[in-house]
Structure formats: C-alpha cells, structure tokens
Amino acid sequence: MTYKKILVTLDGSSLAESVLPHARAVGRQFNAEVILLQVVAERDVTIGGIPTGESCGKALRYLKEKASALTEDGVEVRTLAKEGDPVKTILSVAEDEKVDLIAIATHGWSGLDRLVYGSVTERILRSATHPLLVIRPEST
C-alpha cells in the first residue's frame, strides 16, 4: 500500500496531537501530502446565532503552527479548518480530498465522559471507508 495523501484530524488538544509523530513518519516514508484538519463544532461558530468567523481563524492559526514543524522535516502540509459535525465533516473531507489514510488519536475517555461526549474516533471507525491509523495517546 502506498499513501499519497494523509488526513490528520486535530482538535487543539495535546492528546489529539499525539498522532503527529506518526503522521510525520508515514508522510516522510511515502513522500505523502499531509492535510491537517480541525473541525469547529457549529455551536462554537456563533454568538446568538450570528457567525463569528473567529473560531475558524483561531483553528487555522493553530494548524499553521503545527504544520510548520512538519514542513521543517520535509513533509508537504496543507491546513483546513471546517465548520460542522466532526464525524460528518472528517468523512466528507476524506472523500472530497481522496485521501489514502485518515490518522486520528483516541482521547481515552471512559465512563461518564464517554457517555456525555461520545467518541469521534469510535464513530469514524464505524463509518469510514478509508484506511485508518488510530493512535492511543500514552498515559501521562
């Protein structure tokens, strides 16, 4: 299998960022383009129903920062910030961009947190038609 385009999902957390070294390694090995994606939940985009534009701008600044470390290592990187439901948006971007691999980290939630927040990774695992690289962050 050859990977030419890798979609890496980030949410701004250090747990999600644990996927970056793995994406860097695969990107370098296959000379693949890495697309860093952060999905901004629709509820974070509006104040009183009025779009702020601030959330996507903040996400892009964050992604550019993470991209710079990858480009310094010779990996071709693009950044995308999208509004919407995380699972639907990740799957849609994967399809639109014709990626060969989706790389995502688990958060390791359990109990009540998992019940309340659900698991984007779990929903991606159930729904994706693309190969997945799922990383479980090390315990701190």
pLDDT tens digit sequence for 32-83: 999 999 998 765 545 555 455 667 888 999 999 999 999 999 999 999 999 8
Residue 48 burial by CB count (10 A; 0-12/13-18/19+): exposed, middle or buried?
Answer: exposed
The yes-or-no verdict on residue 114 having pLDDT over 80 is: no
CATH H-level, domain 5-135: superfamily: HUPs (3.40.50.620)
Structure confidence at residue 3 as a pLDDT band (50, 70, 90): very high
Average pLDDT value for residue range 105-116: 60
Residue, of 45 and 89, whose pLDDT is higher: 89
pLDDT of residue 50: 47
This prediction has a pTM of 0.85
Rounded to a whole number, what is the largest CA-CA distance in the chain? 48
Q: Give the separation between CA 130 and CA 67, rounded to whole angstroms.
A: 23
pLDDT of residue 47: 56
Domain ranges (residues) in the chain: 5-135
Cβ proximity of 102 and 7 under 8 Å: yes
pLDDT of residue 122: 82
Of 19-23, 53-57, 80-84, 86-90, the one with minimum mean pLDDT is 53-57
Residue, of 1 and 32, whose pLDDT is higher: 32
